[in-house]
A and B are shown apart, each in its own frame.
Chain A
Amino acid sequence: MRDLPGLPSRRTFLKASAASAAVAGVAAVSMPAEAAAPAPTPLTEYKPDCLKPTEWAFVMAAVARLIPSDGDGPGAIETRVPVFIDKQLAGDFGKASDWYMVGPYEPAASPLRGWQTPLNPLEIYQQAIPVFDDWCKATHGKIFAELDAATQDKALTSLQKDEMKIKPELREFFGILLANTKEGYFADPMYGGNHGMAAWKYIGFPGARGSYKEWVGKHNVKYPLGPVSISGERG
């Protein structure tokens, strides 16, 4: 079957459902009393809180390259990073509610001087995605989500190196896209990503255990327990 444009490959989805089945399987064996968590809405059917369809398609395609599904460890798609990004952009982070957002602005100031664009993160996604898609079309013939994986990697590298000379107001785009992707991968699952605590299991982070008094003196011995989440998932 051909992969659908703008969506991760079918193989990824199969891997994703296999991963959640595995999670459910483990839960069923070790904690029979606990009801299996209802399967989450497939990403293809997820109704974003703030991202428009083209933006959602871009985020799905981009995070699938930033943290790909092949190789060891889960990818951004199986861990539902796009859901995390949508929710963050719809909330205080997207609106820059905590930040000082009063002019005058100097968006072209040295990057060392921090966030200096008048745009908030949501506005940056909204304005940068079409700019980047246009660039992909002009340079590679198709919008980002429709490119093959190798060309997508090339395009993201160009974006990271700012080869397209994006206007300074949008300069933070690649930086926040990558940061948000990693945040969604590693944050507590209650924020929508890190589904099944899969990223924590992969690297060996015990999540919200937060109590290691008897382990301090066990030097150079690998900690044996899997993660727990804030809402009480056990892995």
Chain B
Amino acid sequence: MARTEKKKDVVLVGFGWTGAIMGIELANEGLEVLALERGHDQATVPDFQYPEMIDELKYGIRYGMMEKPANTTVTIRRSLDETALPYRSLGTFLLGTGVGGAGTHWNGLNWRPMQSEYHLKSYVTEKFGAGVMTEDMTIQNYPVTYDELEPFFDRFEKVAGISGQAGNVKGKIVEGGNPFEAPRSDDYPMPAMPSTWDGVKFRDAAKAAGYHPFPSPGGIASKDYVNEYNMQMGPCNHCGFCERYGCYNYSKSSPQTAIIDALKRKKNFEYRVNSEVLRVEKAADGKTVTGVTYFDHKTGEEVFQPADLVILTAFALNNVHLMLVSGIGQPYDPVTNEGVVGRNYAYQITGGYTLFFKDENFNPFIGTGANGFCIDDFGIDNIDFAKEGFIGGAYWRAGQTNGQPGHTMALPAGTPSWGAGWKKGIGEWYGHSMNIGAHGSVMSYRGHYLDLDPTYKDRHGRPMMRMTYNWHPNEIRQTQFMKSKMEPLAKSMNPTTLQEGFKKEGAMFDVRPYQTTHNTGGTVTGSDPKTSVLNRYLQSWDCHNLFVMGANVFPQNTQYNPTGMVGGLAYWAVHHIRKDYLPNPRPLV
């Protein structure tokens, strides 16, 4: 028998980055706000404390901070005619759980997409002609412009505490920053972080080649900092246990360091952990939602939580799954190309060179999640799609994040994987290599989508979500283009030896090695309800008191890590909820 809880003004499903942003902004509006979080409670102290936190086996290899596939996972297939199989043990992407979500153990690389990415379809067709798109490509424009979003990117960067060097402030190019970035109204709130040797070598080589290197922008505090919610950050120790770990030092920007402690002090805010939302409940007329039903893991019962406003803040894949199991919006059918929920799923394509320098010391254990230098010379705005034969771009970065030997041990090709040769290899090469990575965009396609699996069920008996995804020739051409440009640069650095790792023609999606947790699309934002789930305010076209945050709203993936955009869009949406929706709840478009 389901228990029913007292009605709230707002219920947030998930308490990570977007949940924290929505929580504090709507609590500041005076509403009764409840966040439901499926995982455990966690805070810097005691959960991320030194030295227990910096345990590679527990967190880096056995994924101690992540959602366990035993609790939540997806099934994956590479094509419509393959049988999807469960993603049983973690590899290619890692889902967060517990208070703070993936925002606690991310790298902190923080970006605003390039200017063409907001209106990509128009940009492509107007500049190069629709013929450059592959026939199955389903890219579309954001229904909101960069200029509209700019104040909200700025806001997120100031809340999260991002360190970086601006390259374009109000149209003025600033030496040392990224000259290709969209114009920003203000500099980053903190100066850029200093870089380790690998990043500096890359910077110098890139400069010599005529490129435009700039320090990686990241949610890693370069100095003491206090944000608008009066939350404090202290300067980072470059501890080398950043990605996959919580920060013991209040230096990585996370929901905890930037928002949650301030939010917890508000009397009109409440959060409940071990509370896993199973579905959103629709009103009888289907035009609004009435609240959510969640599973209370403490009491082992289902609970109905009524609310006037429901906001999904459960991370990209979980948000889409909740929409599918709640039956809100028409599920996408790739055969007829009709329906919207699950449409335009995309991911990220990465590749790179590893350079070995026999006589140089990189001290790889000194690092942060967002270390080093980048270039955007091969960014999406800078590529002639007609000439190169693909749509997309990539930013490049060199900057070591960790030297944890159990999962980060680069060895020259040909080194045996075990035995005397392996042992000799690790002695010779640990600490003597560096990496340059290309982080590339992924377009959306008719055959790449999310739906409900016909066979596999989760522990609550709900159908699991099924992901259909593979590498598309357009992205393979893009990544091979990056290789052709990176090779001469890498060689110009005169390494003892070097090796490449770029996907080649025919590459199949491999779920085993970690790639990125940049899963996008599935409930995209758009101007047409036939090709989008959400309007420009991230409001459901079907139920006006349901809003959905996260990278699942991206019509296609950008060339960057998603969170800068996710945070900017959350501030944009909540601004309009406060200003336009609350005074008069209705469809805003």
* Chain A interface (Cβ < 8 Å from any Cβ of B): 65-68, 70-73, 75, 92-93, 96-102, 104, 106, 109-116, 153, 156, 160, 178, 181-183, 186-188, 191, 199-200, 202-206, 208-213, 215-217, 219-223, 228, 230
Contact = CB atoms under 8 A, between A and B. Distances in A.
Nearest to A228: B51
A71 B55 contact: no
Contacts of B360: 220
B338 to A, nearest CB: 29
Contacts of A215: 238, 363, 366
B211 interface: no
Nearest to A229: B51
B68 A221 contact: no
Interface string B394-428: 00000000011110000000000111101110110
A187 B57 contact: yes
B534 interface: no
B570 interface: no
Contact of B423 (A72, A111, A113): A72
Nearest to B193: A216
Given A102-B457, A220-B197, 7 more contacts: A67-B419, A72-B424, A114-B87, A181-B418, A203-B405, A213-B237, A220-B362
B89 A216 contact: no
B196 A219 contact: yes
Nearest to A110: B508
B57 A153 contact: no
A211 B237 contact: yes
A215 to B, nearest CB: 6
Contacts of B73: 100
A99 B71 CA distance: 8
Contact of A210 (B68, B241, B417, B509): B241
Contact of B424 (A71, A213, A222): A71
A219 B197 contact: yes
Q: Which secondary structure dominates chain A's binding surface?
A: loop
24 contacts: A67-B423, A68-B423, A98-B62, A99-B69, A101-B70, A102-B86, A112-B510, A114-B85, A114-B88, A115-B89, A116-B85, A182-B406, A186-B56, A186-B404, A187-B57, A206-B365, A210-B51, A212-B239, A212-B363, A213-B235, A219-B196, A220-B197, A220-B362, A230-B55
Contacts of B424: 71-73
B587 interface: no
Contacts of B457: 102
A113 B76 contact: yes
B240 interface: yes
Contacts, number: 171
A68 B420 CA distance: 6
A213 B236 contact: yes
Interface string B56-67: 110001110000
B interface, size bucket: 35 or more
Nearest to A188: B55
B529 interface: no
A102 B72 CA distance: 12
B91 interface: yes
B419 A213 contact: no
Interface of B: 50-52, 54-57, 61-63, 68-70, 73, 76, 83, 85-89, 91, 194-197, 200, 235-241, 248, 360-363, 365-366, 403-406, 417-420, 422-424, 426-427, 430-431, 455-457, 508-512
B52 A230 contact: yes
Contacts of A183: 57, 61, 406
Given A186-B406, A223-B363, A112 B239 contact: no
Contacts of B76: 113
A85 B448 CA distance: 40
B427 A203 contact: yes
A200 B52 CA distance: 18
Contacts of A101: 70, 88
Contacts of A202: 426-427
Given A98-B68, A217-B194, A210 B240 contact: yes
Contact of B70 (A97, A182, A216, A217): A97
A212 B365 contact: yes
Contacts of B456: 102
Given A113-B511, A210-B240, A100 B422 contact: no
B237 A116 contact: no
A73 B427 contact: yes
Instruction: Tell me which of A92, A202, A230 has the highest count of chain B C-beta atoms within 10 A of its own C-beta.
Output: A230
Contact of B511 (A92, A114, A187, A228): A114
A101 B86 CA distance: 9
